Amino acid sequence: MLAPQGVTMSDAIESLLKENRRFEPPAEFAKEARVTSREAYEALYRESVDDPDTFWRRESEALVFRTPWTKTLEWNLPHARWFLGATLNVSESCLDRHLSTPVANKTALLWEGENGDTRKLTYAELHRQTVLLASALKQLGIEKGDRVAIYMGMIPEVAVAMLACARIGAVHTVVFGGFSADALRDRIQDSQAKLVITQDGASRRGQIVPLKNTVDRALEQPEAKSATKTIVFRHFGSERCTVDMKEGRDLWWDDVLASVTTECAPEVVDAEHPLFILYTSGSTGKPKGVLHTSAGYLVGAHVTTKYVFDLRDSDIYWCTADVGWVTGHSYLVYGPLSNGATCFMYEGAPNYPDWGRFWSMVERHKITILYTAPTAIRACMRQGDAWPAKHDLSSLRLLGTVGEPINPEAWIWYHHTIGRGRCPIVDTWWQTETGSIMLTTLPGAAASKPGSTGLPLFGVVLDVVTPKGEAVGPNEGGLLVLRKPWPSMARTLWGDDERFRQSYFNTIEGCYFTGDGARRDEDGYMWVVGRIDDVLNVAGHRIGTAELESALVSHPAVAEAAAVGRPDDLKGTALVVFVSLRPGFSADQALRDQLGEHVAKEIGRFARPDVIRFADSLPKTRSGKIMRRLLKDVAAGRESTGDTSTLEDFGVLAKLRQDED
């Protein structure tokens, strides 16, 4: 049976099975909530599945469609087309629609830099900046359907850049600022991006991360030759961050905006026009370019933001995710802006200058909704209660978590120490490919259970099945699949439709396979235990073992490499790699450091292994496949209980155990 990286399915399920606490929605919250009871949720859910047309039409009423759709769904597995016949421009729903309402002068983005600087952009200002940049992109020759790479940090201009692309029908591909030049180059090459939008540098722990220099190193390489222009936002200025501007290629953001001569009407596109590509790791090969299209994605992000966060006009909403990941796309930009929310955005590290930073910002900006990752919660929890205790957190009314399973201890800490027992917690399960939240307990409507991701959201029809596709009973573990298409689902993998089919629709017939293992309890609540394919979730970052291994074997010293996960109290999963060396290289600390650096260069610093272990050889089956299951046991310091009869040489395993650090 497939098992999550680092833990066996039975271990993970065992520990979650013991968890049976329930937290009813606080009465004060439930009274005012959008959905006030489980019955009300079930009625809406049933409608979304039985009569999707009525449901989605009503729930997307606030969005701007230039022409309404004539058909809700066309499903030709694995290809879904939603809202056929509709035309729209996503930026109109996020910006223009607010201009004739009081929201025009409401703060759209409230930003704080690591050094304490703050900025505010109203909806009207965000619209203005977006229109200017969109016009500039057009003047530079970017046309509908062209790809634009965005390599920026957490500043308001990253939202401007995304929305400007959407406005002219260009397809953005945001590359997380922690990726290396080589990783950026690969994404530019795969998407054939014509232009890169970047900034001089970004703040991190008091240092400046020189983003533009990294872009230079990516663009120097012939593989990235499709990108012939860059637009550079000056975040620091030349005294603090010097950049080389290449004549004819690099343009300053301010100059480009100043030279705009025409207004930019939104380009009206078809419902299925591509909105963005976001690269994510898969279980094999190079990163996958997940493609999301306009209407379905927008509707998914809009409706889930409104219901899951129970959004009110007065909320100050903070999603801590970096915009380089899907959470930043859906819940920092498209979901909240299409709802007219005020979004807080922070550029910097959570512990800078100290572990009180998050809580000080909650207090100072009167944040009402906080959406973050279990890794961040665990890291804060480890620092003790004194940090949050110093701050007035009474503005908070709702807490959210995403990205990895949350252990009940961290959930309880979040509930008591941050939420002070007053705030419901929404544990939201979803993926880059799903585009929007699929599972959670709607706050106010249903009790939360620490560690459970709750119930399916609107239009989500899921199941837990055996590898043969048979549904399992309550509390039995199995594979998490989605049985029906949903509006914000990925439409394909950029340039590789066959891989799209292979990756998601080949495991369980007729279903989308998530790659996760789960169980459903007697109450219908889902308990997601984590990846059961060769993808690791390290501190909420998705890392493909194949990608990491190919980065390692590209180093001259490495003959073979295998990457596995090991349970970790802080990161959820720690990254352990086993490496065998080519003759002539010695297994020492200097080489370990070099290999760590090499991975940082190939992928990014966040993918550096936690542990590198040298091995004479790796355990293999007689047919030559590396036995990862055994390596996982070795990494976790556990005896292997499973079948080892196909192991070629027992000596290899014994030797690895002997060499344990």
75 is in an annotated binding site: no
Size of the site for ligand PRX (CB under 6 A): 22
- The alpha helices in 309-430, defined as continuous H runs, are 326-328, 335-338, 357-365, 374-382, 386-389, 408-413
Burial label for 124, CB within 10 Å (0-12, 13-18, 19+), is: middle
Please state, in angstroms and rounded to a whole number, the distance separating the CA atoms of residues 276 and 169: 10
* Strand positions, DSSP E, 424-571: 425-428, 439-440, 455-456, 462-465, 478-482, 492-493, 512-520, 526-531, 535-538, 541-544, 558-568
Tokens representing 248?
């004819």
Q: Which of 89, 294, 537, 573 binds ligand PRX (CB under 6 A)?
A: 537
Tokens representing 11?
């271990």
Please state, in angstroms and rounded to a whole number, the distance separating the CA atoms of residues 63 and 56: 11
Q: Which of 427, 534, 547, 633 binds ligand PRX (CB under 6 A)?
A: 427
Q: Is there binding between residue 183 and ligand PRX (CB under 6 A)?
A: no
Q: Is there binding between residue 203 and ligand PRX (CB under 6 A)?
A: no
Tokens representing 611?
């542990």
Q: Are 359 and 299 in contact (CB under 8 A)?
A: no
Of 89 and 280, the one with the shorter C-beta distance to ligand PRX is 280
Q: Are 414 and 377 in contact (CB under 8 A)?
A: yes
326 is in an annotated binding site: no
Q: Is there binding between residue 542 and ligand PRX (CB under 6 A)?
A: yes
Q: Is there binding between residue 326 and ligand PRX (CB under 6 A)?
A: yes
Q: Is there binding between residue 429 and ligand PRX (CB under 6 A)?
A: yes
* Least distance CB 128 / ligand PRX (angstroms): 31
* Least distance CB 403 / ligand PRX (angstroms): 5
Q: Which of 38, 172, 212, 531 binds ligand PRX (CB under 6 A)?
A: 531
Tokens representing 79?
């290809």
Q: Is there binding between residue 515 and ligand PRX (CB under 6 A)?
A: yes
Q: Which stretch binds ligand PRX (CB under 6 A): 38-46, 158-166, 346-354, 428-436?
A: 428-436
* Least distance CB 512 / ligand PRX (angstroms): 12
Of 113 and 544, the one with the shorter C-beta distance to ligand PRX is 544
Q: Which of 156, 169, 296, 405 binds ligand PRX (CB under 6 A)?
A: 405
Q: Which stretch binds ligand PRX (CB under 6 A): 72-80, 256-264, 333-341, 509-517?
A: 509-517
| The three-state (H, E, C) secondary structure of 248-262, written as one string | CCEEEHHHHHHCCCC
Tokens representing 111?
């930003």
* Least distance CB 284 / ligand PRX (angstroms): 16
Q: Which stretch binds ligand PRX (CB under 6 A): 260-268, 422-430, 549-557, 599-607?
A: 422-430
Closest of 189, 196, 190, 192 to residue 174, by C-alpha: 196
Q: Which of 528, 551, 635, 653 binds ligand PRX (CB under 6 A)?
A: 528
Q: Is there binding between residue 280 and ligand PRX (CB under 6 A)?
A: yes
Q: Which of 180, 304, 407, 431 binds ligand PRX (CB under 6 A)?
A: 431
Please state, in angstroms and rounded to a whole number, the distance separating the CA atoms of residues 231 and 160: 13
Please state, in angstroms and rounded to a whole number, the distance separating the CA atoms of residues 54 and 41: 16
DSSP lists the bridge partners of residue 204 as 207
Residue nearest to ligand PRX as judged by C-beta position: 432
Please state, in angstroms and rounded to a whole number, the distance separating the CA atoms of residues 337 and 40: 26
Q: Which of 514, 615, 618, 633 binds ligand PRX (CB under 6 A)?
A: 514
* Least distance CB 326 / ligand PRX (angstroms): 5
404 is in an annotated binding site: yes
**Secondary structure element (H or E) that encloses residue 41, with its range:** helix 38-50
Binding residues for ATP: 403-405, 427-432, 516, 531, 542
Binding residues for Mg(2+): 553, 555, 558
Binding residues: 204-207, 327, 351, 403-405, 427-432, 516, 531, 542, 553, 555, 558
Which stretches of the chain bind ligand PRX, using CB under 6 A? Answer: 280, 326-327, 402-405, 427-432, 453, 514-516, 528, 530-531, 537, 542
